[in-house]
Structure 1
Amino acid sequence: MGNAAKKVWGYRHIVLLVLWLLYIVNYFDRISVLTFLPYIQRDLNLTPVEIGQLASVFFFAYALAQVTAGFLADKFGSKKIMGIAIIVFTAVTALTGAIRSFGQFIALRIGLGLGEGHHFAPACRTINHWFPIQERGRATSFFTTSWAIAPAIVPVLITSLSAYVFSGEWRPVFYFLAIPGIIAIWALWYFVFDSPKEALNKGRISEEEYHLINQASTAKEEEPKKKKNYGIFLKDGYFYVYVIALFSQLMVYWGITTWLTTFLVKQHGMDIKQMGFFASAPYIVAFFAMMLGGWLMDKVFGRMKPVALIAYLGGIPVLWFLGVVEKGNNGLLLMLLLLAGFFINLNFGSIYAFVQKRYPKEIVGSATGLANGLGQMGSFVSPLVAGYLVQTGPNGAQDFSMVFLFFALGSAVAALCSFILKEKQIETSE
């Protein structure tokens, strides 16, 4: 079977590549709003607290959508739900260029959260259907690199587009972003099928690849199903410690991603071209940090805890100092941004492996879903709290030192939780 898998490089890899590109389009829309926040704030005369509310309401809608996305994909098919999601967030992104008030912006942020929140689960479900069980780990790992690559390239591309094509204006950029969205809708319709069987019937995959996907999957998956005992993780105290660690991880990641461009413009006085380059810096190293974290967990330590402690303890001083770098000291600022990107992302992939290691496979999906749903609340809380911590001076300059101290404390909480965690698999009686 191993030799057969090596010979069949087939249509499933095209499906995976398309899913990866579609999720980059998803992040283009999401990151573009965050990149232009300081200019939207200026044009709409918004306060830091209102900016925090705008960022947080997106994550609230996004978290709610995570709950319904999987159910809808199971009921109506992944392709249909992904298609609706892409149509919604493409339309919302284009409309963002026309906003004139705080109320309009709030409504569009809710729409964007609901649209983008219904994209992830159907995409994962599609991978699950298209890849044999022994290939799903690598397929999913490749797919997740989309959220490391996109934040690294989006700020540079869209700020360059604004500066060189649209005379420094941000509104036309959002109209332009409808184009990749429309291409994404077509690519989904043309290349992606809900199942290999559907693709086989339409002559898009070979019999050999179809049998590889199905035989390799069913041989391992058609085992007697064990009764799902959700009490195993619901009664496990370490599950809730893990949820707090994940909450803190997402709080720091999305807090920084939300406020970074405003921090660079308002505290460090950068123009749109400078800001685009510096805003990309943390994410340039994110991909390598994620891959290194996974390698350290699998090949060096054999568990998550050491990787987590390196990531979170290293992040505490970096985040603290990042908020107090003097204006004009761009060399030190860039170095700290790169280090922040490294430490914040080092445990990003590894942290999701905790549930898989500790709990029986028949309840891993439920445990992961609940943990991720609760953890995503960190993404909701962080931008909102940070908005209240921004200090505005009499000349309009803004000080983010308290914001980054807040992020450093979040990293410290994650480190403490990681130190407490036990990763040994829970023994269950038959």
Structure 2
Amino acid sequence: MNKIVKKAWNYRYVVLVVLWLVYIINYFDRMAVLTFLPFIQEDLNLTPVEVGQLASVFFFAYAAAQISAGYLADKIGPKKVMYIAILVFTVITALTGAVKNFTQFLLLRIGLGFGEGHHFAPAIRAINNWFPQNEKGRATSFFATSWAVAPAIVPVIVTSISFYFFGGDWRPVFYVLAIPGAVAIFLLWFFVSNTPKEMIAKGRISKEQDIDGQDDSPIEKMSKEEKRKTYGLFLKDFHFYVYTLLLFCQLAVYWGTTTWLTSFLVTQHGMNIKEMGFFGSAPYIIAFFAMLLGGWLMDKVLGRMKPVALIGGIGSIPVLWMLGAIDSGKPALLLTLLLLVGFFVNLNFGSIYAFLPKRYPKEIVGSATGLSNGIGQLGAFVSPLVAGYLVTVGADGSQDFGNVFIFFASVAALSVVCAIILKEKPVSDSVIPTVNQEKVI
């Protein structure tokens, strides 16, 4: 390894790419379920309300896991927490192929949410440990593209595997998805450490340049009073809760549209499995570039997340509204609106997760991220559930999603209000022990 990468400041990009690849594998599991959802619904004879419940219960477990994930990432290190997360969601995904009824599926969705929910906050903490302050926006934006790349490629890959290898059967695909989980564990073990300091101690990289934000957290060395003051930096910060509500709206729109997109394409627009795979991937192809653009605008042009959030939120409102109202038989217009939704909904995704590392000291970023993402993920829980009740089912069994996308547009409007209120100035870190101000590399 020393022959490949000599400097810590170069190796951080290797760590970032590996974390990105591993998180794409995380998304393979959840996106496979959403891709096959209309066919699973048919096989298990589920109603739209039951489909909404199954989608939402995943995010309830996912949200609950965020809080413990952030705390554990700060206490025992992000790498160990990610190991546990990957093992759990890999096993649960393989079991999904054998599901027989609503109750079994419900329990597996809870298990999957719990496993995958322990992956995000540790990954953000690891990035925060490896990257300096002036690169956190771009680093988190690149990481965020994992949830643009995965939805772009997963529908095509899993539907192709199902169509060409298993005659259109969705069940064997979930057994196959256990293989990427094993690959993720190996990548994490071989390439990633919690901090540059650990990697240097192992002799894998050389000590040649300082990296701001890489040391282990001194939280455990603090007195109870110091801990209380430190966590109070975000717990008593009004704008932490404004940010959390903004994140709630962001995730509600993203996961609401992602959850119901394949059903929308199959039932309202009459697409088969191959057509659905192509159109279902379209928003996330453009989302990849939108996320990178958002991070670049934050770091290099605007210097803040707030303007990016305003552009994304304001642009999302009309395109979401029009997407739900489009008649079937207009593929060109449908594709155009899907691409616009992918751009505006995802523009702020990378930059939004750079807000906390820029506002708060690194020692509490894991806990702040876990709490905000735990509450914010409730948006992903509420949105698919509400949408399930808004689907209009005709007497002939046809389904109309017009009201569903009006709901998503309304949530995007609320995110704009939050962005207008939000303040981004970094809070004081004077209560952090002096190790926070020291360079240890």
Instruction: Please give the range of the TM-score, normalised by the shorter of the 2 chains.
Output: 0.7 to 0.9
Question: Aligned residue for 1:331?
Answer: 332
Question: Aligned residue for 2:406?
Answer: 405
Residue-by-residue CA offset, 1:108-166 (whole Å, 9 max, x unaligned): 00111111111223333444455566665554443332122111111111111112221
Identify which of structures 1 and 2 has the higher relative contact order when contacts are C-alpha pairs closer than 8 Å and 6+ apart. 2
Alpha carbons of structure 1 residues 303 and 71: separation in structure 2 relative to 1, 3 Å: closer
Q: What value does the CA root-mean-square deviation take over the aligned residues?
A: 3.1
Amino acid at match of 1:293: G
Question: Aligned residue for 2:347?
Answer: 346
Question: Aligned residue for 1:54?
Answer: 54
8 Å Cα contact 1:65-1:118 kept in structure 2 = yes
2:142 and 2:189 map into 1 onto residues whose CA distance is 22
1:141 and 1:62 map into 2 onto residues whose CA distance is 21
Shift of 1:292: 1.7
Alpha carbons of structure 1 residues 410 and 134: separation in structure 2 relative to 1, 3 Å: closer
Structure 1 window deviating more from structure 2 (187-196 vs 117-126): it is 187-196
SS at match of 1:180: helix
SS at match of 2:326: coil
Shift of 1:285: 0.8
2:417 and 2:75 map into 1 onto residues whose CA distance is 41
Structure 2, unpaired ranges of 5+: 432-441
Alpha carbons of structure 1 residues 178 and 6: separation in structure 2 relative to 1, 3 Å: closer
Question: Aligned residue for 2:435?
Answer: none
Residue-by-residue CA offset, 1:285-344 (whole Å, 9 max, x unaligned): 111111222233334433333322221111111101101111111111110000001110
Question: Aligned residue for 1:67?
Answer: 67
Amino acid at match of 2:304: R
TM-score by length of 1: 0.87
Question: Aligned residue for 1:212?
Answer: 208
Alpha carbons of structure 1 residues 339 and 178: separation in structure 2 relative to 1, 3 Å: same
Question: Aligned residue for 1:370?
Answer: 371
Shift of 1:198: 5.5
Amino acid at match of 1:380: F
8 Å Cα contact 1:132-1:212 kept in structure 2 = no
Alpha carbons of structure 1 residues 149 and 213: separation in structure 2 relative to 1, 3 Å: farther
Question: Aligned residue for 2:172?
Answer: 172
Matches within 5 A, 1:388-403: 388-403=389-404
Question: Aligned residue for 1:187?
Answer: 187
Question: Aligned residue for 1:266?
Answer: 267
Alpha carbons of structure 1 residues 10 and 98: separation in structure 2 relative to 1, 3 Å: same
8 Å Cα contact 2:391-2:404 kept in structure 1 = yes
Matches within 5 A, 1:134-283: 138-194=138-194, 199=199, 203=203, 205-206=204-205, 208=206, 211-212=207-208, 228=229, 230-231=231-232, 233-283=234-284
Shift of 1:51: 0.6
TM-score by length of 2: 0.85
2:396 and 2:267 map into 1 onto residues whose CA distance is 11
1:106 aligns with 2:106: yes
8 Å Cα contact 1:131-1:213 kept in structure 2 = no
1:219 and 1:367 map into 2 onto residues whose CA distance is 18
Shift of 1:412: 1.0
8 Å Cα contact 1:148-1:286 kept in structure 2 = yes
Alpha carbons of structure 1 residues 113 and 213: separation in structure 2 relative to 1, 3 Å: farther
8 Å Cα contact 2:144-2:291 kept in structure 1 = no
Kindly tell me the number of residue pairs found equivalent between the two proteins.
Answer: 421
8 Å Cα contact 1:293-1:346 kept in structure 2 = yes
Alpha carbons of structure 1 residues 395 and 410: separation in structure 2 relative to 1, 3 Å: same
Alpha carbons of structure 1 residues 151 and 333: separation in structure 2 relative to 1, 3 Å: same
8 Å Cα contact 1:245-1:414 kept in structure 2 = yes
Amino acid at match of 2:41: Q
8 Å Cα contact 2:295-2:351 kept in structure 1 = yes
Amino acid at match of 2:312: A
Alpha carbons of structure 1 residues 115 and 230: separation in structure 2 relative to 1, 3 Å: closer
Shift of 1:84: 2.3
